[in-house]
Amino acid sequence: MFEKVLIANRGEIALRINRACHDLGIKTVAVHSTADARAMNVRLADETVCIGPPPPRASYLNIPAILSAAAITGADAIHPGLGFLSENAEFARAVEEHGFVFIGPSPEHIRVMGDKVRAKAEAVRLGIPVVPGSPGALRDVASAQAAAHEIGYPVLLKASAGGGGRGMKLAHNDAELAQLLPLAQSEAMAGFGDDSVYLERYLARPRHIEVQLLGDGQGTVVHLGERDCSLQRSHQKILEETRSPALDDAIRERLTSTAVGAMEKFGYRSAGTIEFLYQDGEFFFIEMNTRLQVEHPISEMISGVDMVREQLRIAAGEPLGFGQRDIAFNGHAIECRINAERPDDFRPSPGRISEYHAPGGLGVRVDSALYQGYEVPPYYDSLISKLIVYDTTRERCLSRLRRALAEYVITGIETTIPLHQRIVENADFQAGKYDIHWLERFLAQRG
């Protein structure tokens, strides 16, 4: 096992990884920007290195600075966390070339799945159904229209290098498509440095259901169940739960075994997630994330598997050491993403936390780097806390969630806690009846 791991990230996920390392007796190095010098993950790490000023490009995306920090501190391995460099194949390769272990999949697997056009082609090869779409990146308006006629309007334009739910465009007819394609291409170039755009059928009321996978790269792949991430705003996840209220056991089995079979064939190593859209009993691949995900804790709660510990063990060359039959799924778990945002218009709300009290008790987990007096910086993602609640049944879980949300005190800034409180009280949500557009409708109704 490693002696020292450098954590190339910030905030709650850096703290999450720091905890798993310390649980295993591994020393940690926190790298941070000048804006994060007083962050909780920095305070709890064994060593710290300031890698630059606040803008991500100058610090958390600064590969030479991160590699230097690893060299100076004598780290054995680097955990990229999520976001930032976690799906950057060049970074993974550079880490390996400099003699450190990259805690994640092979650079080649990151590269294949990071390009969505290639990823879809790979999914087909691996036996996963995909959303019907253009065979590859679109060349021009005429070929885009031809592809759209084949699959039928409406169609969704997506950036091949896209991510974070950004840059998708919906076209209902030829005229809209002709207008939106050049726009999508230039936005993709500006946002992701690659102007490849493809299109796929727009599903009217699907659910977003994903399968959590763990592979050891030595022949063993297991799944940790599915997660329902259909509660979204602007294609961004707000609340996730497992098990999905939409699946029966037969479909769940089909979904998870398809995903596991594909990853066995792929030879996947580390934690990864295959994302699907699910509608009318059919599921379609949309993308694979070759990293830890924000919502991973709910899978940990129902499976009892510490995913970051497994990532560390796998990266150190250990075989998984357990199979699917050793994993028992119990109960229900829900995660609320708590963002530093104004609940009415979702504008960021950074600033100093004047009072902080996290909920607790049986089945309540808070993954957050917040503390009283902490200053939420304005430079980064607005996610500041994840409230994860577990109980034996969904009904009990909802009741516990209601209680935990009421206990949570964060003052000095605005947060999305009130939004979650409204969602929990909603009858559709309580009945598990929602698709990926449900939350937008819910928000619109309130005016």
Task: Among 232, 270, 339, 385, indicate the residue that binds ligand ADP (CB under 6 A).
Answer: 232
Task: Among 53, 54, 136, 163, indicate the residue that binds ligand ADP (CB under 6 A).
Answer: 163
Of 168 and 316, nearer to ligand ADP (C-beta) is 168
- Close Cβ partners of 44 (under 8 Å, ≥ 6 residues apart): 15, 18, 22, 30
Task: Among 135, 165, 219, 317, indicate the residue that binds ligand ADP (CB under 6 A).
Answer: 165
Asked if 79 and 9 touch (Cβ cutoff 8 Å), the reply is: yes
Task: Among 95, 294, 436, 439, indicate the residue that binds ligand ADP (CB under 6 A).
Answer: 436
Task: Among 7, 94, 119, 203, indicate the residue that binds ligand ADP (CB under 6 A).
Answer: 203
Contact region with ligand ADP (CB under 6 A), list: 74-82, 161-169, 385-393, 403-411? 161-169
Distance separating alpha carbons of residues 344 and 47, to the nearest angstrom: 40
Q: Is 256 exposed, middle or buried (0-12, 13-18, 19+ CB in 10 A)?
A: buried
Which residues ranging from 234 to 253 are in contact with ligand ADP (CB under 6 A)?
235
Distance separating alpha carbons of residues 122 and 258, to the nearest angstrom: 14
Could you tell me the smallest distance in angstroms from the CB atom of residue 289 to ligand ADP?
8
Of 92 and 131, nearer to ligand ADP (C-beta) is 131
| CB atoms near residue 188 (< 10 Å) | 23
Which residues ranging from 268 to 297 are in contact with ligand ADP (CB under 6 A)?
275, 277, 286-287
| ∠ CA 308-101-56, rounded to 5° | 75
> Strand locations in 341-400, DSSP E?
351-352, 355-357, 364-368, 375-376, 383-391
Token pair belonging to 437: 């557009």
Distance separating alpha carbons of residues 13 and 405, to the nearest angstrom: 21
Of 98 and 172, nearer to ligand ADP (C-beta) is 172
Of 210 and 414, nearer to ligand ADP (C-beta) is 210
Q: Is 131 in the site for ligand ADP (CB under 6 A)?
A: yes
Q: Is 425 exposed, middle or buried (0-12, 13-18, 19+ CB in 10 A)?
A: exposed
Q: Is 416 in the site for ligand ADP (CB under 6 A)?
A: no
Residues annotated as catalytic are: 291
Could you tell me the smallest distance in angstroms from the CB atom of residue 112 to ligand ADP?
15
Q: Is 443 in the site for ligand ADP (CB under 6 A)?
A: no
Q: Is 208 in the site for ligand ADP (CB under 6 A)?
A: yes
In order of 366, 374, 414, the CA distances from 351 in angstroms are: 20, 8, 9
Distance separating alpha carbons of residues 295 and 229, to the nearest angstrom: 9
- Close Cβ partners of 15 (under 8 Å, ≥ 6 residues apart): 40, 41, 44, 367, 368, 369
Which residues ranging from 95 to 124 are in contact with ligand ADP (CB under 6 A)?
none
Task: Among 76, 122, 200, 391, indicate the residue that binds ligand ADP (CB under 6 A).
Answer: 200
Task: Among 74, 127, 164, 304, indicate the residue that binds ligand ADP (CB under 6 A).
Answer: 164
Binding residues for ligand ADP, rule CB under 6 A, total 20
Q: Is 385 in the site for ligand ADP (CB under 6 A)?
A: no
Asked if 50 and 34 touch (Cβ cutoff 8 Å), the reply is: yes
Could you tell me the smallest distance in angstroms from the CB atom of residue 171 to ligand ADP?
12
> What is the contact surface with ligand ADP in residues (CB under 6 A)?
131, 156, 162-166, 200-203, 206, 208, 232, 235, 275, 277, 286-287, 436
